[in-house]
Chains A and B, each alone.
Chain A
Amino acid sequence: MIRIPVERFTLANGLRVVFSRDASAPAVAVNLWYNVGSRNERTGRTGFAHLFEHMMFQGSAHVPEMAHFALIEKAGGSLNGSTWLDRTNYYETLPAHYLELGLWLESDRLGWLLPAMTQEKLDNQRDVVKNERRWRVDNQPYGDWDERIQELMYPPDHPYHHSVIGSMADLDAASLEDVENFFRTYYAPNNAVLTLCGDFDPADARAQIERYFGEIPPGPPIPPIPGRSELPAHLGGEQRLTLEQDITLTRVYLAYRVPPFGDDGFYAALVASAVLATGRASLLYRTLLREQGLAQDVVAYAFPIVVGASMLVLWATARPHCTIDQLESALLRQVAALTEVSDADVERAIRMLEARQLIDLQTVDERADQLSMYTTLFDDPERVNTELSRVRAVTTAAVREFARAYLVPENRGVLRYVPRGGAA
């Protein structure tokens, strides 16, 4: 339906570059994915990949402190970065004629970061990140759900066992030496993908990329992901946890181990998630909200993660009169119903996934981010155009088979939040 143009090349230092030109766009997106995330952290340094991301905005050899933000904002651009399990990304979207500014800033921190690092900057950003943890996790109702689910669903020696944000103690332990080692190990052109998307001249852009990134030397081979990545297809027994929090409404999370993102089996999980909870006609909405009045909201999400196994996670928040056991049983009944899912429900789900993807791909920054993702994870930017065909290939029989194989008690984690002291 929509074809995103894709052109790619690799610099001599190993930097993979993806171009997607769209002269009708009002801007150009510069997007870098580094193939490093919380999965690469060593014991005692949880949260470090993310803390390091913050340090990347503190200036580099030729970019004074805070100049990175100020220059992009003055150019009318927007920028940010984020860290997740498998990767760290950095991006700016600029008026098309300011592309060179973005390339210069990104190349300076990839090539010449360390001279600008100081203990004072590290201490300040450590405080910022600890406040980010308080804001996202510790001061939010249900805010630690992903941390808890990861602990339930992955064994202690698996790289997904710990959360991206990490622990306060590990953040306290991080040193300038850690910053230096992490940079030398993972921030190398041969461990990165650079994508440009939007209105730019490919020949000019290529010359600028050669000029700014070409002289950055490649790093040593990237060390293997720590711990044990391989996992059995099944969890091997139900894992349960009930937590008391200062909340007024109870909530239940169900998690299932599923094939990793990119595997054929993953797409059945993705379609199942949309059958369950995408839109007001979804299975969980129409039963738990509309018919039974038990739940306040429902969500389902298949994690696009690649090491060993992924997760399908769904959750519902109970109405005040609904007990936690009633809510859990109602969720489990609908999950079980997926073994008999109808053609209409599967078709609806696929339509919704298509519609969502078309909306997302309207912006140059989202297109660029997806191109970087498919290149980093699968070395295949064309997947931005072929991914929907994998979704469309999922049949009703495949969803039913997926449900029979994976959505079973011995393969699930159950996380329950109840009000402290039992009072709502």
Chain B
Amino acid sequence: MSALLPALPAPVAPRPPEVQRFRLDNGLGVHLVSRRTLPIVDIALVIRAGAELDGAARAGRARFTGALLVEGTERRDGRAFAEAVDRLGAVLDVQTAWDHTTIALHVLAPRLAAALALVHEALTRPAFAASEFERKRRERLAALLQDRSEPRALATFHFARGVYGRDHPYGQPIGGTTPSVRALPADETRRCHALRYRPDNAFLVVVGDIDEPGLRTLLDDSLAGWQAPPSLPPPGQAPAPSAPAPLVLVDRPGAAQTELRIGQAAAPRSTPDYFPLLVLNAVLGGNFTSRINMRLREERGYTYGAGSSFAFRRGGGPFVVGTSVHGAATGAAVADVWAELERVRAEPVGEPELERARRSLTLGLAREFETTGAVADRVAEQVLYGLGESWFEQYVARIEAVDARAVQSAAGRWLDPAGRVSVAVGDRAVIEPGLAALGPISIASEPEL
């Protein structure tokens, strides 16, 4: 017979990376995690030029601006630039999120100098060729057309619209909508770049096989020469989200399943409830054994899986439960999710469940620092949101301090059913009766995304 569960040792708190920090003369902050185990380096150059600043009318501008950096410079066209990156065996990507655009580089340490030169070239001398912009515009419009037949994309779009409305930045996809992309003037990308891409509005994270003197030498030959133009406008305030539409049905005749998104506008990254909300999410839908997955999958067999997350942004990003259920079960599945959201507000979470949620977060932290790229992401988040230099050291203690009362009170504040939006993308003929029993339904009638 196999022995019973072995006695397990006490948990060991993960050891966070040590970050060295310095600033270049041009104002660019540098955050270095020197890690000499493998001959690789990951770099994240983070610019505070996120999609939130686009506003609804110019949605897509920040992402186009970032994407065009690597589609041609004053020295070489898009193809030649891509070939130069590939010849180094490097991976160079530009990602735009709500609060930042990041140029991410992964390269072998001996080729770092050459790769940094390419990053510098893309950052300071992009061509913004009209032909490349028009190509990207056509690709985005085609992708939006494609999304009309993609149930997950439809659900995500209509959820954001339902929660934030058509005037709030968060009510748009980061890449822009069909009307905003059609209307975007080509010179907007150049203007966005001139305004926001500057060393005092950015910072650099470097993780891997290099030390501080070595890095300083490389930067002297590259990013130290990046100069700031005169002034930077402060970010504006986003308009208030419009009144949410509580229950939205998006008809896909003949759909084999119903794609569900249920949630609401929730807390900003700066909320004092951050840690209680992490634990709350682990209880509800962050893990496999979380309540919503256990109910919908293991108890009911309605779905392959269900999960939830808080999207923490500068403004109040959404809390969302996402799943995909058998059409006939749609109404019952929505009711089950609502019941779980009510239960966590009404009753304190029991200690064993709470302890499992906390440990999954504290003991799982070590793996967040496993790869150079992952470390760069974590350090970037810490700097971007001003979390403080002892953030990683405090993390475990602050999770462990979250008790049942803190979870319940955070749930009370952030999961108020009055703000809740539930979106179902499925076959109306099959799912409408079950949903109608839950409340009045609005039928989405967006002709295009």
Contact surface of A with B, Cβ cutoff 8 Å: 1-2, 24-27, 61-62, 66, 69-71, 73-79, 93, 95, 97-98, 100-101, 104, 107-108, 111-112, 123-132, 134-136, 138-141, 211-212, 245-249, 279-281, 286, 289-290, 293, 296, 317, 319-320, 344, 347-348, 351-352, 354-355, 358-359, 362-364, 424
Q: Which of B4, B6, B367 contacts A101 (CB 8 A)?
A: B6
Enumerate chain B residues within 8 angstroms of A111, measured Cβ to Cβ.
2
Q: In the bound complex, do residue A211 and residue B324 qualify as a contact, i.e. CB atoms below 8 Å apart? A: no
Q: Which of A112, A124, A286 contacts B1 (CB 8 A)?
A: A112
Please, how many angstroms separate the alpha-carbon atoms of A98 and B365 in the complex? 15
Whether A362 touches B151, Cβ cut-off 8 Å, given contacts A62-B5, A66-B289, A249-B142, is: no
Q: In the bound complex, do residue B11 and residue A131 qualify as a contact, i.e. CB atoms below 8 Å apart? A: no
Enumerate chain B residues within 8 angstroms of A138, measured Cβ to Cβ.
256-257
Q: Report the minimum CB–CB distance from B8 to chain A (whole Å).
A: 6
Enumerate chain A residues within 8 angstroms of B313, measured Cβ to Cβ.
none
Enumerate chain A residues within 8 angstroms of B158, measured Cβ to Cβ.
none
Q: In the bound complex, do residue B12 and residue A97 qualify as a contact, i.e. CB atoms below 8 Å apart? A: yes
Q: Which of B11, B148, B302 contacts A95 (CB 8 A)?
A: B11
Please, how many angstroms separate the alpha-carbon atoms of A125 and B302 in the complex? 10
Q: In the bound complex, do residue B86 and residue A104 qualify as a contact, i.e. CB atoms below 8 Å apart? A: no
Q: Report the minimum CB–CB distance from B88 to chain A (whole Å).
A: 8
Q: Mark B137-158, 1 if CB is under 8 A from A, else 0.
A: 0110011011011110000000
Please, how many angstroms separate the alpha-carbon atoms of A115 and B441 in the complex? 47
Q: Which of B241-298 contact A (CB under 8 A)?
A: 252, 254-257, 259, 287-289, 294, 297-298
Binds A, one of B21-29, B77-85, B118-126, B430-438: B77-85
Q: In the bound complex, do residue B3 and residue A363 qualify as a contact, i.e. CB atoms below 8 Å apart? A: no
Q: In the bound complex, do residue A74 and residue B356 qualify as a contact, i.e. CB atoms below 8 Å apart? A: yes
Q: Mark B75-98, 1 if CB is under 8 A from A, else 0.
A: 000110011011111110000000
Q: In the bound complex, do residue B146 and residue A358 qualify as a contact, i.e. CB atoms below 8 Å apart? A: no
Give the number of residue pairs across the A-B interface with Cβ within 8 Å: 212
Enumerate chain B residues within 8 angstroms of A246, measured Cβ to Cβ.
149, 252, 254
Q: In the bound complex, do residue B149 and residue A131 qualify as a contact, i.e. CB atoms below 8 Å apart? A: no
Please, how many angstroms separate the alpha-carbon atoms of A134 and B330 in the complex? 14
Contact surface of B with A, Cβ cutoff 8 Å: 1-6, 8-9, 11-12, 14-15, 37-40, 70, 78-79, 82-83, 85-91, 106, 108, 135, 138-139, 142-143, 145-146, 148-151, 252, 254-257, 259, 287-289, 294, 297-299, 301-304, 324-326, 355-356, 359-367, 369-373
Q: In the bound complex, do residue A364 and residue B370 qualify as a contact, i.e. CB atoms below 8 Å apart? A: yes
Q: In the bound complex, do residue A135 and residue B143 qualify as a contact, i.e. CB atoms below 8 Å apart? A: no
Given contacts A124-B298, A247-B146, A296-B142, 18 further A-B contacts (CB under 8 A): A27-B370, A62-B1, A69-B288, A93-B367, A101-B8, A108-B2, A131-B324, A132-B304, A136-B304, A139-B259, A279-B82, A290-B79, A320-B145, A351-B88, A352-B86, A362-B40, A362-B370, A364-B370
Listed by A's residue number, 27 A-B pairs whose Cβ atoms lie within 8 Å are A26-B367, A61-B1, A61-B2, A69-B289, A76-B359, A127-B302, A130-B326, A131-B257, A139-B256, A212-B2, A246-B252, A247-B146, A248-B146, A280-B79, A280-B82, A281-B82, A289-B139, A290-B135, A296-B139, A296-B146, A317-B146, A320-B142, A348-B86, A355-B90, A359-B91, A359-B106, A362-B370
Q: Report the minimum CB–CB distance from B68 to chain A (whole Å).
A: 12
Q: In the bound complex, do residue B325 and residue A131 qualify as a contact, i.e. CB atoms below 8 Å apart? A: yes
Q: Which of B297, B366, B367 has the most CB of A within 10 A?
A: B367
Q: Report the minimum CB–CB distance from B209 to chain A (whole Å).
A: 12
Q: In the bound complex, do residue A98 and residue B370 qualify as a contact, i.e. CB atoms below 8 Å apart? A: no
Q: Which of B88, B135, B363, B369 has the most CB of A within 10 A?
A: B363
Whether A141 touches B149, Cβ cut-off 8 Å, given contacts A107-B2, A131-B325, A134-B256, is: yes
Enumerate chain B residues within 8 angstroms of A24, measured Cβ to Cβ.
37
Please, how many angstroms separate the alpha-carbon atoms of A322 and B2 in the complex? 62
Q: Which of B256, B302, B371 has the most CB of A within 10 A?
A: B256
B327 nearest in chain A by CB position = A134
